[in-house]
A = this chain, B = another copy of it.
Amino acid sequence: MSDTPPNGPGDKAGRHGPTIRDVARLAGVSIGTASKALNANGRLRQETRDKVNEVALQIGYRPNDMAQSLHRTRSMTVGVLSTDSFGRFTLPIFQALEEQFADQGIAIFMCNATDDPARERQHLDQLLGKRIDGLVVTARRADKRAPVGPLPPGLPVIYVYSQADDGDALSLLSDEEDGARQAVNHLIEVGCTRIAYLTGPEHFEAVLQRKLGYHAALAEAGLPEHPGYYLSGKWSEAWGREAVAALFDGAGERPDGLFCGNDQIARGAVDALRERGIKVPEEVAIVGFDNWEVMTSAARPPLTSVDMNLSALGHEAGRLLIGMIGGERLRGIRRLPCTLVVRESTKR
């Protein structure tokens, strides 16, 4: 960023600060292209669009032809509002946002509302009073929520690992259905044919999304569904142990693969199987979810798990918000891919 913004010959008299001409020159594009990029219209490569918006942000270009920017000047701050207490899921997202914004010289206001609407309102008022350039809303679960607000028109907002019940909002989520599909496909590839899904409470969107992926993978492979193989309970190791007792101590046909809704359930399952003398992965292969190192590496054997790439989600959210601050208009739900991390619990 420069203290003395370049002053091209095309500047209007009396106007200070960088112009679209400066943006175009520094981004190495024509004024027409810069205009398209800044107004988020026309056909452009995403790369070009990003480059122009980045330059605009860096030199502090303030467009005067976009309604949402008419009455605002950049404060070089954004707000991050967590609607649940900060935790394991919000941390990597926040860390990534912080890196992304710090690189642009943007400071972050952090607020936490812990499911308290009055507190949330208070935080929003405070953030708006600080004239933030944009807002990120995050949560510890990806369920739908009422949109935050009311907000001033044109304030860029992104929901991350959270989605607003509002078609005009932009929500960034992890593709948990596909993550589940990858997990179950992997179990099928290593030879499992009787695959159970042990998971958390059904009022979590995550449980249902992953169930869709579980069903889809079985259907694609032509494997029958066993009605007793879907067990919804808690997100705990104790539940993993209980579920194994239900599946393996009874008279029913035993599964040879377990897809677990999180790594704690998988850890409980692996312990319970070992204590029954059932070999993992030889007799039963197991996949967890979250790729939480504390659990995956301490389990015996270490757990194969689905990583939601929350850090990538945070980086992408930062990148998109910077584009929106530069004038891009984005909406809808975007889901980023999960990655399967293979360890001993499925290595046959």
The contact of A237 among B99, B112, B298, by CB within 8 Å, is: B298
A123-131, A143-151, A323-331, A338-346: which one contacts chain B? A123-131
A296 to B86, CA, bound (A): 20
Instruction: List B contacts of A77 (CB < 8 A).
Output: 109, 130
With a cutoff of 8 Å between Cβ atoms, the chain B residues found around residue A41 in the complex are: none
Interface residue count for A (Cβ, 8 Å)?
33
Q: Do the beta carbons of B119 and A102 come within 8 Å of each other?
A: yes
Q: A289 an interface residue at 8 Å Cβ cutoff? A: no
Chain A 293-308, CB-CB to B under 8 Å as 1, else 0, gives 0100110000000000
Nearest CB in chain B to that of A238: its residue: B298
Contacts of A91 in B (CB 8 A): 86-87, 91
> Is there contact, CB below 8 Å, between A107 and B86?
no
- Which residues does chain B contribute within 8 Å of A237, judged by CB atoms? 298
B298 and A264 contact, CB distance less than 8 A? yes
- Write out, one digit per residue, whether chain A residues 219-231 have a CB within 8 A of any chain B CB (1) or not (0): 0000000000000
Q: How long is the Cα–Cα vector from A301 to B189 in the complex, in angstroms?
A: 37
Interface residue? A8 (CB, 8 A): no
The docked-state distance in angstroms from the alpha carbon of A105 to that of B87 is: 23
Give a binary string over A72-113; 1 marks a CB under 8 Å from any B CB, 0 the rest.
Answer: 000001001000011100010011001100100101111110
Which listed residue (B94, B105, B122, B294) contacts A102, Cβ 8 A? B122
The reply to whether A123 and B102 form a contact with Cβ atoms under 8 Å apart is yes
Select from chain B the residue with minimum beta-carbon distance to A295.
B294
With known contacts A91-B91, A238-B298, A109–B111 Cβ distance under 8 A: no
Asked if A193 is at the interface (CB within 8 A of a chain B CB), the reply is no
Interchain CA distance A297-B123 in the complex, whole Å: 34
Are A95 and B86 also in contact (CB < 8 A) when A107-B109, A110-B108, A298-B236 are?
Answer: yes
Verify B94–A107 contact, CB threshold 8 A: no
A298: which B residues are within 8 A, CB to CB?
A: 236-238, 264, 267-268
The chain B residue with its CB closest to the CB of A130 is B107
Minimum Cβ distance to chain B for residue A215 (Å) = 29
Known: A238-B298, A294-B294. A127 touches B107 (CB 8 A): yes
Q: List 15 A-B contacts (CB under 8 A).
A: A77-B109, A80-B110, A86-B91, A86-B95, A98-B110, A102-B111, A102-B119, A102-B123, A105-B126, A107-B109, A107-B111, A107-B126, A107-B130, A108-B110, A238-B298
Q: A80-B110, A102-B119 are in contact. List 7 more A-B contacts (CB 8 A).
A: A86-B94, A86-B95, A87-B91, A98-B112, A108-B110, A108-B111, A294-B294
Q: Which residues of A contact B (CB under 8 A)?
A: 77, 80, 85-87, 91, 94-95, 98-99, 102, 105, 107-112, 119, 122-123, 126-127, 130, 236-238, 264, 267-268, 294, 297-298
* 9 A-B pairs with least C-beta separation: A110-B110, A237-B298, A107-B109, A98-B112, A108-B110, A107-B126, A86-B91, A107-B130, A86-B95
